[in-house]
Amino acid sequence: MTAFTSVRRTALGALTVIAGALLAVPVHAQNYPVSSGQRATAQQVAERGVPLSELAPGAPDTYVVKRGDTLWGISGMYLQRPWRWPELWGMNLQALPNPHLIFPGQTLHLEKNGGYARLRTSARGAPDTVRVSPRTRSDSLADTALPTLKPHLIEPFLVEPLVVDAEVLQRAPRIVATVDERVLMADGDRAYARGDESSPLRMEAGASRHYRVFRDAIALKDPLTGEILGYEAQYVGKAELVRGESVEESANGKGGIAYDYVPATVALSATKEEVRAGDRLLPAPARAFVSYTPRAPQVEVDARVVSIYGGNSVTYAAQNQVIAINRGTKDGMEAGQVLHIMTKGDRLKDSTDAAKTVIKLPSERNGHVMVFRTFDRVSYALILEIRTGVRVGDRLVNPE
């Protein structure tokens, strides 16, 4: 058998082989969210392509998709506005029925005709060819499809930030003691925990034994109103329940029986900081499949930066850092939405004016961010591209 097998098919059915292979892929990996609006836009664009004026400067005539590429990066390579993913998808709607199923090894061909451009996976007049290398049966093709963003930038934040009501954290089970009475604990250590009287930590049949450890709920305040939008709990590590709370009987020395409360035992792992008494335990959520389709929000957005995650002493956030904003699911925010971030125009004295009049500089477009995790009134967004540092209070609006 040769190292590579050439699989040929017509441009109209460009991904039928891949689609067939996906029958063995878990259902959740096939159901990438594509809204009816995105599909309608793509179908409209597919009729003739996009105007040449929409193409990014230097868009390549051909490009071979590589490992490490992202949908965001390829979209930005071909379009001036990368969040307009439906346009890029529509340029080859028939050959790419699912915009997420682009794989390393595919060659993209840019075709220009009559003032419009289309993107194909094969040159005009030629059948599409994809090189498929041998792989084990356990290696699904979905695992090789391009991600929207580089996974290592956001995966830690899918479990770390937690926005809760202060009461939720106060009612959560807490670490009460340590093995050998140590003050601080880390990976591999065991600790003792105690639940609320109404919900003790017990080894219930069928219940998850996995928890995350948090501390210090910090108030997230709206920069405009000062209203508390929620409390951000600091992620410390993971804990697994190995023995539940119980009550032990023993002789009290007076011919009677004494009842002693025994806290639960948890094993610590993946700690970012030393765990200590007083830290809280919250159930670990099931790992969910999340897909981020870059798109503009359907609602009008006028948001502000609430905080820079993990940067209590940081004034400016840089590219690839995470920020919290004062809009959440109640305001129509969804994962994948792209926003323009604006500078907060400084106030200064006009040095050319004898009266030293105070003026405010205009806000300028500074780059864009993508929302990747949402709560009721707060969302977290990844800074994709910026020109200058991002500060608390900076404004976020719909992309144009």
Report pLDDT digits (tens) over 163-188: 887 788 888 999 998 877 666 677 78
Identify whether 31 is part of a domain.
no
Domain that holds residue 244: 159-283
Identify whether 135 is part of a domain.
no
The string of pLDDT tens digits covering residues 302-330 is 999 999 987 666 788 998 899 999 999 99
CB within 8 Å of 296: residues ≥ 6 apart: 83, 84, 337, 338, 398, 399
| Same domain? 119 vs 71 | yes
The string of pLDDT tens digits covering residues 205-244 is 888 899 999 987 889 999 999 999 998 888 889 999 999 9
- Give the number of C-alpha atoms closer than 13 A to the C-alpha of residue 249, restricted to the C-beta side: 3
Burial class (CB in 10 A: 0-12, 13-18, 19+), 161: buried
| Same domain? 227 vs 316 | no
Identify whether 14 is part of a domain.
no
| Same domain? 227 vs 279 | yes
Whether 193 shows a pLDDT value over 90: the answer reads yes
| Same domain? 272 vs 348 | no
Q: Is the CB of residue 291 less than 8 Å from the CB of residue 33?
A: yes
Q: Of the ranges 140-154, 219-233, 301-315, 359-373, which one carries the lowest mean pLDDT score?
A: 140-154
CA distance 363 to 374: 26
| Same domain? 176 vs 273 | yes
pLDDT higher at 217 or 6: 217
Whether 1 shows a pLDDT value over 50: the answer reads no
| Among 105, 123, 141, residue at a domain's last position | 123
If you average pLDDT over residues 253-277, what whole number do you get? 87
| Same domain? 308 vs 393 | yes
Q: What is the CATH number of the domain that holds 373?
A: 2.40.10.410
pLDDT higher at 1 or 388: 388
Q: Is the CB of residue 175 less than 8 Å from the CB of residue 192?
A: yes
pLDDT at position 220 is: 93
| Among 222, 252, 283, residue at a domain's last position | 283
Identify whether 53 is part of a domain.
yes
DSSP bridge partners of 367: 341, 386
Helices (H), the chain: 16-21, 27-30, 36-46, 71-78, 85-90, 151-154, 166-171
Identify whether 94 is part of a domain.
yes
Identify whether 290 is part of a domain.
no
Host H or E run for residue 122? none
* Sheet of 107-113, strand order: 50-51, 116-120, 107-113, 62-64
**DSSP SS3 for 170:** helix
Q: What is the CATH number of the domain that holds 75?
A: 3.10.350
For tokens 């405010």, name the residue: 360
| Same domain? 319 vs 388 | yes
The string of pLDDT tens digits covering residues 8-66 is 232 222 222 222 222 223 333 334 455 666 666 666 666 667 889 989 999 999 999 88
pLDDT at position 4 is: 33
List the end-to-end C-alpha distance of the chain, in Å, as a whole number. 51
| Same domain? 181 vs 263 | yes
| Same domain? 229 vs 168 | yes
CB within 8 Å of 357: residues ≥ 6 apart: 349, 350
Q: What angle do CA 95, 96, 98 make, to 5 degrees?
A: 150
Give the chain's domain count.
3
User: Which two tokens mark 174?
Assistant: 């807490």
Identify whether 133 is part of a domain.
no
| Same domain? 46 vs 85 | yes
| Same domain? 320 vs 272 | no
Identify whether 21 is part of a domain.
no
Note the pTM of the prediction, 2 decimals. Answer: 0.68
| Same domain? 167 vs 279 | yes
